[in-house]
Structure 1
Amino acid sequence: MHDDHDHDHGLAHDLAVMERMMARRRALKWFAGAGTVALVAGCGGSDASTGTTSSSSATATPTPTPSTTATPTPTATGTTTACIADPTETAGPYPADGTNSASGSTSNVLTASGVVRSDIRASFIGATTVATGVQVTLTLTLVDVNATCAPLAGYAIYLWHCDRQGLYSLYTASAQSYLRGVQVTDANGQVTFTTIFPGCYDGRWPHIHFEVYSSLSNATSGRYATLVSQLALPSSVCSTVYVDTATYPSSSSNFARIALSSDGVFADNTAAQIAQQTPTMTGSPSAGYQAAAVIGLAR
């Protein structure tokens, strides 16, 4: 065994070895340059992916998402396609629906003959006095809020309110039975009452009372109301009507002292509830008013 060193073989051998070493260094230098180019190219791709140049952002193609083809929301086709349940309100001290008494006896106009009527301006028990004031034709549409606001046919609605002086028949106007009546909803869920614009008495926002019954027989039996609530009359119409102090002697001054926000019935209602409880009205004091409101019932 012996050591075999390159420098032991003479000049010719050393030259050959040097030649091979030079070739090897050139190859290594070439590979190092190629690696640098590859590295730079890799960095250029990373920059493009960040969108720092206009060319890279222009060629990017976003992938569509399912949200762009979501099913559109159906468009409402009528005024009763958006409704809420009317809040329950007090019947007050003058309902005449068999739940309290007047003049020492139970007052229940619902059991009286002739209570089913559209024009409620005249008394129909004893006296025949006709309540005077600005005429109002009020159409109510009863809908089921749990069935996409579908109209409710065959329901009975009992409507009552005070007269132009703020008095209620059978109670503070005890000899009268005007401004009370019952109607049955038609196929469109509608009833229409011809009445007068009620006066404003001290401490209450001008309003109309109503009760909803599932049938006429339930209404005329009394004490089976599905909903007891009230309508709030529009402020602008109140101001217009009450200017006539000859017809509405105390309403203007009473109205000036009350607001929806301070009313004992409407004050705690939401804006949406007040909006539905306020009838839309068109007309004038001289020509009369056409009014309409939706009543939402949660069955």
Structure 2
Amino acid sequence: MERKNFLKSLFVGAVSVPAVLAACSKDDADAATPATGGSTSGGGSTSGSCAVAPTETEGPFPTKVPSSYVRADITDGRAGYPMTATITITNSNNSCAALAGALVDIWHCDAEGNYSEYGGTGMQSTNYQAVHFLRGRQTTDASGQVKFTTIFPGWYSGRATHIHVHVYSATGTSLKVTQIAFPEGTGTAVAAVNGYKKGLSGYTSNAQDNVFSDGVAQELATVTGSTTAGFQLNSTFAVPA
């Protein structure tokens, strides 16, 4: 759904910044996630000794036809610091064993904070509806891993740096929609990238982000590397499969 149309569905005749933030807030579906243990930081739940990844909103920019973008390199020529994203999926219903054969979709904004497949509206003036950069799908291997070649994401108003993740079973059943958060502060990759040309003035931190403000313990990636050598991101999510 276009961001402008999304806002129109919430308010008539006015574009509201709070509405934009609400569009990126936590999804009510998390309440339906079964839990055999207590609640955990970040909105997830526990299943035995395995913490289930929090359920988050897909946001206003989900990939429209994810099955069309089965690929490991999702860069599509977008400028930015190179980054390899390694995501590991485990099965919370099987003692956190690696989940092989799962479909993993990711998508994120470019260095300027824009998404492909959307635009030409008041909320994203640049029209990228006809292109599909920084979106892709991979199938987990025997270790439950997928790897994507991409760029370090930029940021846009109201959100911290993040990557969207949607995990499906091998048969296409949705198992989890969540997001990856990035470490912040002195010495981190976010500080090194410094918002690309935008800088970090006006940046929304994880603590102030509507999605991550309740905690990022289960969503916070490990990010190493540099602007000269490129970055490596590692993230692990448990899903009920």
Q: Could you say which residue in structure 2 is the equivalent of 1:197? A: 152
Distance apart, 1:293 and its partner CA: 0.8
Distance apart, 1:121 and its partner CA: 0.4
CA contact (8 A) 1:227 1:297 kept: yes
CA contact (8 A) 2:52 2:238 kept: yes
AA aligned to 1:267 is S
Question: SS of 2:174's equivalent?
Answer: coil
Q: Could you say which residue in structure 1 is the equivalent of 2:143? A: 188
d(CA) in 1 for partners of 2:218 and 2:228? 26
Give the one of 58, 72, 78 matched to 1:131: 78
d(CA) in 2 for partners of 1:237 and 1:254? 18
Larger radius of gyration: 1
How many residues are aligned here? 182
Normalised TM-score (structure 1): 0.58
Q: Could you say which residue in structure 2 is the equivalent of 1:88? A: 55
Distance apart, 1:289 and its partner CA: 0.9
Compute the RMSD of aligned alpha carbons: 1.5
Q: Could you say which residue in structure 2 is the equivalent of 1:109? A: 65
Is 188-197 or 233-242 further displaced after alignment? 233-242
Distance apart, 1:148 and its partner CA: 2.0
d(CA) in 2 for partners of 1:83 and 1:266? 20
Structure with a larger share of its residues in strand: 2
d(CA) in 2 for partners of 1:198 and 1:227? 22
Give the one of 72, 96, 111 matched to 1:164: 111
Give the one of 195, 198, 210 matched to 1:250: 198
d(CA) in 1 for partners of 2:142 and 2:136? 20
Q: Identify if the C-alpha distance between structure 1 residues 296 and 251 changes in structure 2 by more than 3 Å, giving closer, same or farther.
A: farther
Determine whether 1:241 maps to 2:193: yes
d(CA) in 1 for partners of 2:152 and 2:78? 10
CA contact (8 A) 1:201 1:254 kept: no
Identity rate, percent: 43
Per-residue CA shift, 1:227-274, capped at 9, x if unaligned? 10100012121111116xxxx22242232xx222221111123xxxx2
Determine whether 1:277 maps to 2:219: yes
CA contact (8 A) 2:67 2:137 kept: no
CA contact (8 A) 1:118 1:182 kept: yes
Determine whether 1:261 maps to 2:217: no
**Structure 1 unaligned residues grouped into runs of 5+:** 1-81, 97-107, 123-129, 219-223
Distance apart, 1:298 and its partner CA: 2.3
**Structure 2 unaligned residues grouped into runs of 5+:** 1-48, 120-127
d(CA) in 1 for partners of 2:197 and 2:151? 15
Distance apart, 1:83 and its partner CA: 4.5
Q: Could you say which residue in structure 2 is the equivalent of 1:27? A: none
